[in-house]
Structure 1
């Protein structure tokens, strides 16, 4: 692994025996404090995650979903804390609509993130559950200065969300977002967090908070019932494993979309991507084409695991991926539909401790603040339900109690059945694309986590268009254009290219220390001791 950064990044990697990396410095510090108070990596991740709901409300909240991959020192565990559709969400409920709404009550599935906090703490934590909320409650009650990045996101959300139930009352000051540097306090949210902490989450799903959310929904156009909340359940799942060279990339199985990154890696292996130099137009061309193919398959086949018509084993079959790779023209951009396998706004964080425990964790309200609906007490609901499909017979068709296709995906890399790196890239459909680029930088180019993060990125946007960062070398951009790619160049450090956090073991000879990195595209901080 190359310790020195080759991309001239402003941030140096952090080397320590205990480490936390997140998209917000105050949250990272909450995680470090948990470690210094006798907690382990999971306690640190939870303290960080809970604090993020307060200090980065433009990306996540109490009303979102979460996923995690945890190395306990011997084994990798997967956790799916994504919520399910309300009982009334039958196809008939959405009759007359061609697509799901983008904001509002009809995008809100039952929030799963709180149940994820509970499960992680019970299964792996050392500290008392309530102690994990200390910093979050303090910042909500006494305030914190809003950063320029978050202030901008806050301001941009107003025209879209200001008329949604509870949004303006909860997140605006006389109709305006807080300015950069302004102190933001939200005592009502502090009370909600205190209630969750003191009841170990019971209030959120079967008690006082659940009743408050249901009452608010029933009075403002929502359809939640107490039964919807009581039925919520976090699942422990077996991570999907896929080999890339000497390493294995682990992702949460569907309804998560991490399989798209694994499919793209398999297509690239079959296409012999390593025949082309790192950072060349030819190599990036193949990456883009492989990702387009993987997205086509993911959007066609991935859904709640209980309703998938194609098994994940078929999507990851080496023969199938080779057949997809054979369709790629190495010198010309193409357009791809889904294959037939039968024939063959989010926050991410990670933590690690000196016992060898590592956790890769992600939680999200999906698009920025989410649905725009905010229940009393600062419970901002996500809009994950917008990812359902209304096409009759589609695997991801909306149905009661069903989980939608999910973009938020933590990742974990192992080598020889031993942990190597916890990492993730927040940012909608950038996430599997970010995983692909991060893994190839780390495995093929031997870059450290900070350098992997600093490297210029490309992205296939929601419309299928290719965008690249302005920091991408001009020779590469011109080479891609010559192969038929229509390219939009985005400003350097654009939020569209996601935000990575990563912690890796320092080396095969040094297994008792870590090297951590945090993305310069956000306010992030990697710290350790």
Structure 2
């Protein structure tokens, strides 16, 4: 398999992220004696400064954490709930996709707090120092970030104050231009000094609520003060001698595990990577899993989600019988969820690891920055349904269904389960499809970590609702045309796209079985890097 980037090999720690400055900040924490948690929080905070379209303090986060000393794996659900004032009756026919009434409770800062409390080694002030510096002194805008700023002109016409808050000017910045965010620097410094209290109960909470209520928003002080990150066991399934750990609902990480259970019954290695048979099987598995999302997935505090049944191998065998090798199925109806998201992963010399994904939902979230704080607010409420029959029906205090999911793979050893791969990707509804392909590239087709990310990709359906027909199968043009024609003969609506045009941008860390070395890979479809020492 063709490979353009080298694999980063390290022994004492490795960070892979979509933004080089963020990866470097995480690496600095490791080199200064910090833990994997310190490195992850530093990376997360710098991403909020340097990639505001994808994630921010006013957004959410999900983590899969592996603790080497105990061989235990944990799931963090840092998604925010709907405000107590958010009811279906309040919204009537539709929830706005932008603006103050689209805002749910932000969860990211509480994730930092909980993660740091458990595994942090350095002070929070030290960990947030790089992000504070980039916000205060300025950071050079990356090419991808500049393009997203430039492509969001319609948003800036509606929310010009947000562009000024993020850039200090009235027009999108150019790549390489240094921009400062002094208000955000002060906010980060306050969090560094006082932790979550400032954000959820103190001065920042008061500023957020005052801003929201002045514009007719729904967030209250009690909504913020009552927020807590959910921490528990991940869900998992076995695949090719490994255990794949994913996010439980409200994340749709369940769909990735369903897809793996479905394709497990086929000999993909015999079919070959990027063959018509292999692509067909994976696309059909995706359709079946997404049909289950529409029927079953929602906040388990409000609806019954039978995770055990959906991940049962017998259930997978039953559903697998619906896959016809000679013909593409018509997908059952499901609604796509929009996105803008960023993913990164960290692993240290002791084998501790975190798979970390954070988001503000749509690009630049609600489109609103809280005055004098630099905090960009999410638009996560728009991820709810107003159909009372949907498991994702809007209710006060309920978490919306999330595309956000991170994964981590372990294998059994005489001393317990040990991490073999840590990975994930942004990409909304493409996330679980992309992760399926990456995992199969690793475990079925024997690719190395960088090859697994660089291999040509497909995506079924749009990543966001407005981006195309629900049954469109987009395939990067590096896939042989004979394969594309074979898929068309089976009934797939194939549309070739640019050779590297697939929107997801993965990051991956592997642990070499024989040497214990850490192997880092970063997707060339973004500006990211893997760095280690």
2:137 to 142, 151, 173: 142
What's the CA shift string for 1:440-487, capped at 9, x where partnerless? 001011212211111111112333421111222222222211211111
1:466 to 470, 473, 480: 473
Matched residue pairs, number? 513
Q: Does the 8 A contact of 1:237 with 1:253 survive in 2? A: no
CA change 1:48–1:85 in 2 (3 A) is same
- Structure 1 residue 220: deviation in Å? 1.6
1:229 to 212, 224, 229: 224
Q: Does the 8 A contact of 1:31 with 1:47 survive in 2? A: yes
Q: Does the 8 A contact of 1:359 with 1:422 survive in 2? A: yes
Structure 2 counterpart of 1:64: 59
Q: Does the 8 A contact of 1:171 with 1:177 survive in 2? A: no
Structure 1 counterpart of 2:447: 447
Q: Does the 8 A contact of 2:167 with 2:179 survive in 1? A: no
Structure 1 counterpart of 2:276: 281
Q: How does 1:95-244 map to 2 (within 5 A)?
A: 95=92, 97=93, 99-164=94-159, 166-171=161-166, 174-244=169-239
C-alpha distance in 2, partners of 1:367/1:251?
Answer: 23
Structure 2 counterpart of 1:523: 527
Structure 2 counterpart of 1:13: 7
Structure 1 counterpart of 2:466: none
1:409 to 405, 409, 412: 405
- Structure 1 residue 272: deviation in Å? 4.8
RMSD: 1.6
CA change 1:450–1:8 in 2 (3 A) is closer
C-alpha distance in 2, partners of 1:397/1:166?
Answer: 32
1:80 to 74, 77, 84: 77
Structure 1 counterpart of 2:421: 421
C-alpha distance in 1, partners of 2:166/2:50?
Answer: 12
- Structure 1 residue 221: deviation in Å? 2.4
What's the CA shift string for 1:297-328, capped at 9, x where partnerless? 11321111212334111111222222211111
Q: Does the 8 A contact of 2:298 with 2:305 survive in 1? A: no
- Structure 1 residue 70: deviation in Å? 1.1
Q: Does the 8 A contact of 2:341 with 2:360 survive in 1? A: yes
Q: Secondary structure at the match of 2:345?
A: strand
- Structure 1 residue 492: deviation in Å? 2.7
- Structure 1 residue 106: deviation in Å? 2.5
- Structure 1 residue 160: deviation in Å? 2.9
C-alpha distance in 2, partners of 1:455/1:7?
Answer: 7
- Structure 1 residue 171: deviation in Å? 3.0
Q: TM-score, normalized by length of structure 2?
A: 0.93
2:511 to 478, 502, 505: 505
1:382 to 368, 378, 382: 378
Q: Secondary structure at the match of 1:39?
A: coil
1:369 to 364, 373, 391: 364
What's the CA shift string for 1:327-356, capped at 9, x where partnerless? 1110211113389xxxxx111111111111
Q: How does 1:30-49 map to 2 (within 5 A)?
A: 30-49=25-44
Query: What are structure 1's unaligned runs of at least 5 residues?
Result: 1-5, 340-344
C-alpha distance in 2, partners of 1:165/1:311?
Answer: 45
Q: Secondary structure at the match of 2:128?
A: helix
Q: Does the 8 A contact of 2:168 with 2:181 survive in 1? A: no
What's the CA shift string for 1:200-245, capped at 9, x where partnerless? 1211000000000100011122121100100100011210011111
Structure 2 counterpart of 1:28: 23
- Structure 1 residue 48: deviation in Å? 0.5
- Structure 1 residue 71: deviation in Å? 1.0
C-alpha distance in 1, partners of 2:379/2:33?
Answer: 36
Structure 2 counterpart of 1:305: 300
What's the CA shift string for 1:159-185, capped at 9, x where partnerless? 035424842331355531101111111
Q: Does the 8 A contact of 1:500 with 1:518 survive in 2? A: yes
Query: What are structure 2's unaligned runs of at least 5 residues?
Result: 335-339, 463-469
Structure 2 counterpart of 1:393: 389
Q: Does the 8 A contact of 1:297 with 1:337 survive in 2? A: no
- Structure 1 residue 493: deviation in Å? 2.6
Q: Does the 8 A contact of 1:113 with 1:363 survive in 2? A: yes
Structure 2 counterpart of 1:3: none
C-alpha distance in 1, partners of 2:286/2:297?
Answer: 15
- Structure 1 residue 46: deviation in Å? 0.9
C-alpha distance in 1, partners of 2:294/2:504?
Answer: 20
Structure 2 counterpart of 1:483: 490
Q: TM-score, normalized by length of structure 1?
A: 0.94
Q: Does the 8 A contact of 1:31 with 1:44 survive in 2? A: yes
Q: Secondary structure at the match of 1:334?
A: coil
1:324 to 313, 319, 328: 319
